Amino acid sequence: MGKVEAIEQQVASLAPDDLAEFRQWFASFDGEAWDKQTASDAAAGRLDALADQALEHDRQGKSKLL
């Protein structure tokens, strides 16, 4: 059995209170990982094309205020 399968089995066997605690921890963990990856991508210029496209759409009047 692989590591992921073992973790899946452990998570599936958690009591409801423990599962809620795990969900909260994992959401925070995953959010931090997402933030780090996004910051790394931005610093490396991997998001520049998306930003340029968004700015061009705004110049063309294809955007709206939220």
Residues 20-34 pLDDT 10s: 999 999 999 999 999
Report the chain's C-alpha Rg in angstroms.
20
CB 41 within 8 A of CB 47: yes
Token match 């759409």: residue? 57
pLDDT-based confidence at 11, cuts 50/70/90?
A: very high
Q: Rounded CA gap, 60 and 62, in Å?
A: 6
13 DSSP assignment: T
Residue type at 6? A
